[in-house]
């Protein structure tokens, strides 16, 4: 029987890398979001990249470097309301539109990010 194809298999390192690069490019232009991130976005981009590689079925380097994600807890330090969530999501929708992908993968990413972003709202 064939193994189930993961999002990682489909996008590859390159696709996930591009997704994250486009996401942070867009974050640069969203003041309310940008001011929460460190001055140098490169390490933040690396963390998001490794995290997504892990959740989409690739190597678990994120866990080795950062431990258990505990994402909601790690995001408590910022006041995340529905408005800020929408801005984050808009950056991600923009990034997704820049990376070629199959429609099934596109739909899977949309629902994953929508759920995850809702989970991060803490105000």
> Which residue ranges make up the site for ligand HEM (CB under 6 A)?
33, 36-38, 44, 47-48, 51, 66, 71, 74-75, 78, 80, 84-85, 88, 113, 116-117, 120
Nearer to ligand HEM, 3 or 90 (CB): 90
In the complex, minimum distance from the CB of residue 104 to ligand HEM, in angstroms, rounded to a whole number? 19
The Cβ of residue 52 has, within 10 Å, a number of other Cβ atoms equal to 23
Look-up of token digits 């001011």: 35
In the complex, minimum distance from the CB of residue 4 to ligand HEM, in angstroms, rounded to a whole number? 21
Nearer to ligand HEM, 2 or 111 (CB): 111
Look-up of token digits 């759920």: 115
First to last CA, the chain: 46
Nearer to ligand HEM, 1 or 6 (CB): 6
> For residues 32 and 57, what is the distance between their CA atoms, to the nearest angstrom?
32
């Amino acid at each position: 029987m064939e193994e189930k194809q993961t999002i990682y298999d489909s996008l590859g390192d390159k696709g996930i890398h591009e997704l994250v690069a486009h996401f942070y490019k867009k974050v640069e232009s969203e003041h309310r979001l940008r001011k929460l991130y460190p001055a140098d976005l490169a390490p933040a981009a690396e963390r998001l990249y490794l995290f997504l590689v892990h959740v989409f079925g690739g190597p678990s380097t994120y866990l080795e470097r950062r431990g258990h994600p505990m994402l909601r807890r790690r995001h408590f330090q910022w006041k995340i309301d529905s408005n800020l969530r929408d801005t984050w999501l808009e950056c991600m929708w923009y990034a997704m539109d820049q990376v070629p992908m199959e429609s099934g993968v596109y739909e899977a990413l949309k629902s994953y990010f929508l759920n995850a972003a809702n989970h991060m709202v803490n105000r």
